[in-house]
């Protein structure tokens, strides 16, 4: 296993109390695999990724438990300089907002080359040549001419390509992409996702794709982990989950998105709001919004039940849910 996150807990101290952002998350990614982490805002999907990357702001954040095993080593036990060596070289991250992730006063060539200067001790000149090579690789037209330009001179899609190039620069084994196409238009989004998938295949990397978009997930993921209130509520191979979700939250999400291929009647709406992380409901955190909730759901936190070899669901009534959704 390339990366295994085991029982991770993260808290944030806020004005309103302690926000429990991540509450026992366990997932894993293998080399060459794409894991989609799906969730709405506040589900803890990005915080988990930040903890894995070691870029969580502490304080206010605090990792209160769990392990992050990368090639068998627990990253949480490493010293900061050892972690820094892992970051960039062995695992890299792509963010949603490419414009604010790039330094506006440095040329893209300098920023791409920096990776080689810092991690590989290359000369400026060689690094510049490498930068051009990378830009070619992510299919930025006229790379040789554009390597000396500044981030604002590129379009949104091109900037996201530069971010991808930067992440790929040292050929890391794992890439974490946090909503990489959310800020982009659909036609550009398709190009960028295509590029990401292709590079992943070429380099045999593991990819964690963090997103709220069920469409994007269906397009590229091998496996999905659905998060709610800092927990994983369902994990499954991508085909299974769309055919027959095993958790009412997943089912609700799938039913609440309007379809492209027909007009449809009134949308199904999951009632209520996502929980306040400083006061997560007892028992199953989804019970106040769940159509299947019974007494046991208000008391017992559901464990991740085994649905099949590769599927888990954190619902006391997963059998009922699968039956209902595959019927």
Partner 1 sequence: MPEPDPYENPKEAVAPTGAGGAMDLAMSEAETLERGGTGRPRSLWSDAWHQLRRNPVFLVSALLIVFLVLIAIWPQILTGADPLRCDLSKSQQGSAPGHPFGYDTQGCDVYTRTVHGARASITVGVCATLGAALLGSLLGGLAGFFGGWWDALLSRIADVFFGIPVVLGGLVFLSVVTSSTVWPVVGFIVLLGWPQIARIARGSVITAKQHDYVQAARALGAGSGRMLLRHVGPNAVAPVIVVATIALGTYIALEATLSFLGVGLRPPTVSWGIDISNAAPQIRNAPHMLLWPAGALSVTVLAFIMLGDAVRDALDPKLR
Partner 2 sequence: MPPLLEVRDLVKHYPLTRGVLFRKQIGAVKAVDGVSFDLRPGETLGIVGESGCGKSTVAKMLVSLERPTSGRILYKGEDITGLSGRALKAVRRNIQMVFQDPYTSLNPRMTVGDIVGEPFDIHPEVAPKGDRRRKVRELLDVVGLNPEYINRYPHQFSGGQRQRIGIARGLALNPEIIVADEPVSALDVSVQAQVVNLMEKLQTEFGLAYVFIAHDLSIVRHISDRVGVMYLGRIVETGTDTEIYDHPTHPYTQALLSAVPVPDPEAREQRERILLTGDVPSPTGIPSGCRFRTRCWKARERCALEVPLLAVPAAFRDADTPARHDSACHFAEEKRVVPGDPRGHTG
Binding site for partner 1 (CB under 8 A): 266-269, 271-273, 275-276, 279, 288-289, 291
Q: Which two tokens stand for residue 164?
A: 């991808």
Q: Which does 186 bind (CB under 5 to 8 A by kind): partner 2, partner 1, none?
A: partner 2
Counting residues that bind partner 2 (by CB under 8 A) gives: 52
* Residues 82, 21 contacting (CB under 8 angstroms): no
252 part of the interface to partner 2, by CB under 8 A: yes
Distance of alpha carbon 221 from alpha carbon 134, whole angstroms: 25
Question: Distance from CA of residue 48 to its chain's centroid?
Answer: 8
Query: Dihedral angle at the C-alpha atoms of 242, 247, 249, 253, nearest 10 degrees?
Result: 10
- Closest by Cα among 162, 102, 106, 115 to 135: 162
Query: Dihedral angle at the C-alpha atoms of 126, 82, 102, 100, nearest 10 degrees?
Result: 180
Q: Which does 150 bind (CB under 5 to 8 A by kind): partner 2, partner 1, none?
A: none
Q: Which of residues 187-206 bind partner 2 (CB under 8 A)?
A: 187-191, 193-194
268 part of the interface to partner 2, by CB under 8 A: yes
Beta strand pairing status for 305-308 and 174-178?
Answer: unpaired
> How far apart are CB 255 and partner 1 at their closest, in Å?
9
* Residues 69, 51 contacting (CB under 8 angstroms): no
Q: Which of 186, 205, 313, 323 binds partner 2 (CB under 8 A)?
A: 186
76 part of the interface to partner 2, by CB under 8 A: no
Distance of alpha carbon 166 from alpha carbon 171, whole angstroms: 10
137 part of the interface to partner 2, by CB under 8 A: no
> How far apart are CB 34 and partner 1 at their closest, in Å?
32
> How far apart are CB 273 and partner 2 at their closest, in Å?
5
Distance of alpha carbon 234 from alpha carbon 34, whole angstroms: 16
> How far apart are CB 140 and partner 2 at their closest, in Å?
11
Q: Which does 62 bind (CB under 5 to 8 A by kind): partner 1, partner 2, none?
A: none
Q: What mask of x and - would describe binding to partner 2 in positions 210 to 249, judged by CB under 8 A?
A: --xxxxxxxxxx----------------xx--xx------
Smaller CB separation from partner 2, 160 or 313: 160
Smaller CB separation from partner 2, 7 or 194: 194
Q: Each residue of 176-215: b (16+ CB within 10 Å) or e? A: bbbbbbebbeeebbebbbebbeebbeeeebbbbbbbbbbe
Helix (H, G, I), strand (E, B) or coil at 43: coil
Q: Which does 291 bind (CB under 5 to 8 A by kind): partner 2, partner 1, none?
A: partner 1
41 part of the interface to partner 2, by CB under 8 A: yes
Q: Which does 275 bind (CB under 5 to 8 A by kind): partner 2, partner 1, none?
A: partner 1
* Residues 268, 288 contacting (CB under 8 angstroms): no
> How far apart are CB 152 and partner 1 at their closest, in Å?
20
Distance of alpha carbon 126 from alpha carbon 137, whole angstroms: 17
Q: Which of 15, 79, 125, 263 binds partner 2 (CB under 8 A)?
A: 263
Residue 128 C-beta-side C-alpha neighbours within 13 Å? 10
Q: Which does 257 bind (CB under 5 to 8 A by kind): partner 2, partner 1, none?
A: partner 2
Distance of alpha carbon 165 from alpha carbon 197, whole angstroms: 13
Place of tokens 């994983």: 232
Residues that bind partner 2 (CB under 8 A): 40-41, 141, 155-158, 185-191, 193-194, 212-221, 238-239, 242-243, 252-271, 273-274
């Amino acid at each position: 296993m390339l990366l295994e996150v085991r029982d991770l807990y993260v808290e944030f101290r806020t004005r309103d109390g302690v926000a429990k952002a991540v509450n026992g998350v366990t997932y894993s990614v293998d080399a060459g695999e794409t894991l989609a982490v799906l969730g709405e805002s506040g589900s803890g999907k990005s915080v988990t990724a930040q903890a894995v990357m070691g870029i969580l702001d502490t304080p206010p954040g605090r990792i209160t438990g769990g392990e992050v095993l990368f090639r068998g080593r627990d990253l949480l036990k490493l010293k900061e300089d050892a972690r820094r060596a892992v970051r960039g070289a062995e695992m890299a991250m792509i963010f949603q907002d490419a414009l604010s992730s790039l330094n506006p006063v440095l040329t893209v060539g300098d920023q791409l080359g920096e990776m080689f200067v810092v991690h590989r001790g290359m000369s400026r000149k060689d690094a510049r040549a490498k930068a051009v090579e990378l830009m070619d690789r992510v299919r930025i037209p006229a790379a040789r001419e554009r390597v000396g330009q500044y981030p604002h001179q590129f379009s949104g899609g091109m900037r996201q390509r530069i971010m991808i190039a930067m992440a790929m620069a040292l050929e890391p084994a794992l890439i974490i992409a946090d909503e990489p196409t959310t800020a982009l238009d659909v036609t550009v989004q398709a190009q960028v996702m295509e590029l990401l998938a292709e590079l992943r295949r070429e380099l045999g990397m593991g990819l964690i794709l963090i997103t709220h978009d069920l469409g994007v997930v269906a397009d590229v993921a091998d496996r999905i982990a659905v998060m709610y209130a800092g927990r994983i509520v369902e994990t499954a191979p991508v085909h299974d989950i769309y055919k027959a979700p095993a958790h009412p939250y997943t089912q609700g999400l799938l039913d609440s998105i309007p379809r492209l291929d027909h007009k449809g009647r009134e949308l199904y709406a999951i009632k209520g709001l996502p929980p306040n992380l400083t006061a997560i409901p007892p028992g199953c955190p989804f019970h106040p919004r769940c159509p299947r909730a019974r007494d046991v759901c208000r008391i017992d936190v559901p464990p991740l039940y085994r649905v099949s070899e590769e599927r888990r669901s954190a619902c006391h009534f997963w059998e009922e849910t699968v039956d209902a959704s595959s019927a």
